[in-house]
Amino acid sequence: MKGAEAIVKSLEEEGVKHIFGILGGAIMEVYDVLYDNKNIRHILMRHEQCAAHAAEGYARASGKVGVCMATSGPGATNLVTGIADAYIDSVPLVAFTGQVPMHLIGNDAFQEADIVGITMPITKHNFQIMDTDDIPSTIKAAFKIASTRRPGPVLVDLPKDIQQKKLKKRFHYPNDVELPGYKVVKSGGHPKQLKDIANVLMNAEKPVILAGGGIILSNASKEILKLAESLKIPVTTTLMGKGCFPENHPLALGMVGMHGRKVANLMITESDVLFAIGVRFSDRVTANIEHFAPHAKLIQVDIDPSEIGKNVDVNIPVVGDAKLVLQNLISITNKLKAKKKTKWHDKLKKFKKEFSPVYDYDTVPIKPQRVLKELNKIIDDRTIITTEVGQCQMWAAHYLNIKNPRSFISSGGLGTMGFGFPAAIGAKVAKPDFKVIDVGSEGSFMMTGQDMATCVIEDIPVVVVLLDNRYLGMVKQWQDLFYEKRRSHTYLGEVPDFVKYAEAFDAKGILVEKPSEIRPGLIEAIKSNEPFIVDIRVDPDEHILPMVQPGGRLDKMIEVGSL
């Protein structure tokens, strides 16, 4: 068996059904084997960055490891942004890259790049295979590392001669591999710490649960719901945790942070206990750390010990898997009686009534709030929302009511413009029976929009909803708020016509300019079962507010009418 055959065989043994990629000279041996393969569907993307983001979307929608593939040199370096995005958002991903033959490595050969060195800071681990007999065990290790403990991306670099040479031994794909220094131990937390947490939560008068992406990664949404309901504790989420707790629930506060809901920010600020689980306390969540939950006893649960206390001081730290920790905690709290929190719940109701998002705008140009109102009516339990990055992302995060995990997919830590569209492609491949809608903007969409060709050729019917204001919206908002409205190089102009853009790819497009056209346009796009762009012209001067000023406090938000 040739190395290339062993690579594809290993992927089959690992249960891989989909690969997103683009071939080139240094990876052609693998693609030649894929030509005859009937078990793995390869989706030919139009840019390697899109291949990585599509693999991310696939992983986040399915819970499986996403796989992308590229050739050496520029093909490999084009994957870097997607790999970095997956790393900071803890997405399980395995990226395969072609490489020049071993005897040319280090000689500045044609299309050579040290992709192992380049990606070392942004992968959990990476490999360069130097012996054909190492192929099965290396690929097994890559998938194990990507999917266990705190998930993340792993890169496997494949010199061309390794793909061409035959294995010296008979092919054998192992059930598991031992990795020195890497132990997969699922901890449910230390019993004493869990008892301490239970007592603190039971006796708290103003507790809040802060749920992050770790809840989704560990499939712990049922457990967080059970704990919150049993102890009657309000729940707020980070951007990455959005969907882990149903946002139509009476205890739901919505998203916290710079562009979070005011009720969430105020409840955290006034809390006496903050139970954070699967959260890394990024600056977009905490704002000014000195004023973050200033009266609260902080409890942090995370599977990654390096995150405990990294950004905020913690009173009770727990290293463990979110699902197991919650299950153990629930078994303890079920035996105890919680203190009534009547005043706290009264405050929650008061804040919700006073600070609920306002959707009912009926003006021209269209307000983005109105678009999200109509979208809220359409999404259901079989809908996945992806987002681009910028104002459109924050409109979606703030205004959409998401009820289920793995149904809201957005670039969190890296904030990668162009993420949403290819992520939607990956999500649709993973969940073909779901509606997949990318809430985007023209600035972000144009960075990866060429993969509309992938949607058409591969029959992947995703819907792109553009909140089209012809600006780099979030940068323009900061210019308006903090730079005296000096809009330096943020106006994009009136090009392109997105209906014609869609039609050029043999996709469908529609222009929406009145509020009454929004819902019919969305329904037409979804029912078409074709790749579709809904270009909605929105007010270019509308800001996503309230907003916490950079370096500001969660309880001191810039609000509509305060400018």
Active-site residue set = 48, 110-111, 160, 474
Best CA proximity match to 211, nearest among 291, 299, 147: 299
Half-sphere exposure of 462 (CA within 13 A, CB side): 35
3-state SS, residue 488: coil
Sign of CA dihedral 260, 264, 266, 272: negative
Angle of CA points 123, 51, 160, to nearest 5°? 70
| Torsion angle of the four alpha carbons 478, 481, 486, 492, in this order, in degrees rounded to the nearest 10 | 40
* Alpha helix segments (H runs only) across 160-300: 160-164, 191-203, 213-217, 221-231, 262-270, 283-286
Question: C-alpha distances in angstroms, 212 versus 255, 256, 258, 270, 467?
Answer: 10, 10, 15, 20, 27
Are 332 and 195 in contact, with CB atoms under 8 Å apart? Answer: yes
State residue 358 phi and psi, 5-degree precision.
-100, 120
Are 224 and 277 in contact, with CB atoms under 8 Å apart? Answer: yes
The conformation of residue 120, written as its DSSP 8-state character, comes to G
SS (H, E, C) 381-427: CCEEEEECCCHHHHHHHHHCCCCCCCCEECCCCCCCCCCHHHHHHHH
State residue 308 phi and psi, 5-degree precision.
-70, 115
Compute the distance between CA of residue 66 and CA of residue 54 in angstroms, rounded to an integer. Answer: 8
408 contact partners, CB below 8 Å, separation of at least 6: 242, 243, 384, 385, 387, 396, 397, 400, 402
Angle of CA points 243, 252, 333, to nearest 5°? 100
CA 220 to chain centre: 17
The conformation of residue 232, written as its DSSP 8-state character, comes to T
| DSSP structure string for 19-37 | EEE---GGGHHHHHHHTT-
Question: C-alpha distances in angstroms, 139 versus 11, 83, 123, 126, 388?
Answer: 8, 17, 15, 11, 32
Sign of CA dihedral 547, 552, 557, 560: negative
